[in-house]
Every structure is written in C-alpha cells, then in structure tokens.
Amino acid sequence: MTAVSHVLSDEWLVDYAAGTAPEPVAAFVAAHLALSAPARKAYACLEALGGNLLDAIEPAAMSPGALESVLARLDHPAPRPAGAPVADASMPAALRRYLPRGMGSLAWRKLARGLHAARLIRDDPSGYRLSLLRLDPGCAVPRHTHRGEELVMVLEGGYHDERGHYGPGDVEIADPSVEHQPIADPGPVCVGLILWQAPVRLTRFPGRLLNPFLR
Ligand code: ZN
C-alpha cells in the first residue's frame, strides 16, 4: 500500500489564500483548515513564505514572530455549541451557513444501504459541487472509480479503503486512476464532505445500475 497524504497539497491552499478558489473549493479548504492541525501548519508556513516574499519587495513587511502569531491564530477551533447533535456540533463554521438549521433539515437522498447524501452547493459556475455524505457504521460505499477528481474529507467518525484510514480532518483525493470501496468504522456515523466535478462510476454489478442516478 502506498502512503497517501491526508492533507491538501499547497496548490489548493495557495488558491484559497489568494482568494481565487471557487466557492465550493473555498468552503472545502476552510473546513479542512478548521479540522486538520497539519493543514493549519502547512497553511501558516505558506503565509510566512508569502510574507517573506513580500519582505524581498518591501523591506520589513513582516514582523519577527509573524509565523508564531499566525499559528496561534489558527490554533483555536470553533467552540462546540451546547446541546447540538454531535454531527452538527462538529460542523466547521465555514459550512454552517449552508445548513443554518442543522443536518436534520437537509434533503438527504439515499444512495445505497447506509449511505445518504445531501447537496450543500449546486450549480456553481466553476462546475464544482459540494455535498455532505452520511455512512452508517460498518456500511460500505459501492465500489466505484471516478470520472474526475473527487475530494472527500471526514467531519466525524472515520472510514478506511484500500489506500488507508481516514479520520476527522483527513482528506482523500481520488481520480480516474483510483478504484475503491470506502467502509465506515464501527462507532459513530461517518459524516464526510465531498467536493467533485464529475459523478463517480460504479464498477460492480448491481451498483452499475445506479450510475444514471448519480449525475
Ligand atoms: Zn471515490
């Protein structure tokens, strides 16, 4: 098994920092930064690097200790609202605007046994779509490959597939070269955020019958 990074690469973070990421991508990256300490560290290093580049142009544009202050700023995750259901409570602030009345208020669609999805952002001009996934404990996503890039981040719970195990804040990027079957951990329901441009392609009968409905 090849080790796969669970943190978004610098390209995604740079686009987000520059404000050039389309809305679904920006929401995904912001949620990743809220939940993943390694991602926050990578982002802080990029910010410091950006400051140093500015230094080369404008002397003293960045004060000493700037990296520490950026790290300190990023190290305070949003507090859990009291009394909220667990999945709602672990929802990063960057996503709450898309579900102001909580997970239960979304239009969930059943895709397979134990697997439900609800759209958060549709019809963005970039072509990117953002949805939430709910996978019941021990249930599997039907085996599939991809027509384009698929980014999945765990918000709560966890899952594993042929490439590794993913917990809260971890991102898995899959593309047409990857065929996999994610299986949820026992324990709490696995809640994930999915960003994609093209629908998946199911590779095993009878899952293939569902393909026309996944567009
Ligand atoms: Zn996939």
DSSP annotation string for 18-84: HT-S-HHHHHHHHHHHHH-HHHHHHHHHHHHHHHHHHHHHSTT-S-TTHHHHHHHHHT-PPPPPTT-
Give me ligand 1 centre to Cα 95, in Å.
Answer: 21
- Which residues neighbour 145 within 8 Å (Cβ) at sequence distance 6 or greater? 176, 178, 179, 180, 200, 201, 203
- The lowest-confidence range among 68-72, 116-120, 131-135, 199-203 is 68-72
Give me ligand 1 centre to Cα 65, in Å.
Answer: 41
Residue 57, pLDDT > 70, answer no
Give me ligand 1 centre to Cα 150, in Å.
Answer: 6
Q: What is the mean pLDDT of the chain?
A: 83
Angstrom distance (rounded) from CA 168 to CA 155:
5
Q: At 60, is the pLDDT very low, low, confident or very high (cuts 50, 70, 90)?
A: very low
More confident residue, 123 or 194: 194
Give me ligand 1 centre to Cα 164, in Å.
Answer: 13
Angstrom distance (rounded) from CA 210 to CA 207:
6
Residue 61, pLDDT > 50, answer no
Mean pLDDT, range 121-140, rounded to an integer: 93
- Give the tokens for residue 147: 């027509």
- Give the tokens for residue 158: 């966890």
Mean pLDDT, range 14-40, rounded to an integer: 93
Q: At 211, is the pLDDT very low, low, confident or very high (cuts 50, 70, 90)?
A: low
Q: At 43, is the pLDDT very low, low, confident or very high (cuts 50, 70, 90)?
A: very high
Question: 46-52 long-range contacts, Cβ below 8 Å, gap at least 24?
Answer: 46/10, 46/13, 46/14, 46/17, 47/17, 50/17
Give me ligand 1 centre to Cα 28, in Å.
Answer: 16
- What is the per-residue pLDDT for 183? 98
Give me ligand 1 centre to Cα 161, in Å.
Answer: 10
36: which strand partners? none
Give me ligand 1 centre to Cα 209, in Å.
Answer: 17
pTM metric for this prediction = 0.80
Give me ligand 1 centre to Cα 54, in Å.
Answer: 39
Give me ligand 1 centre to Cα 174, in Å.
Answer: 6
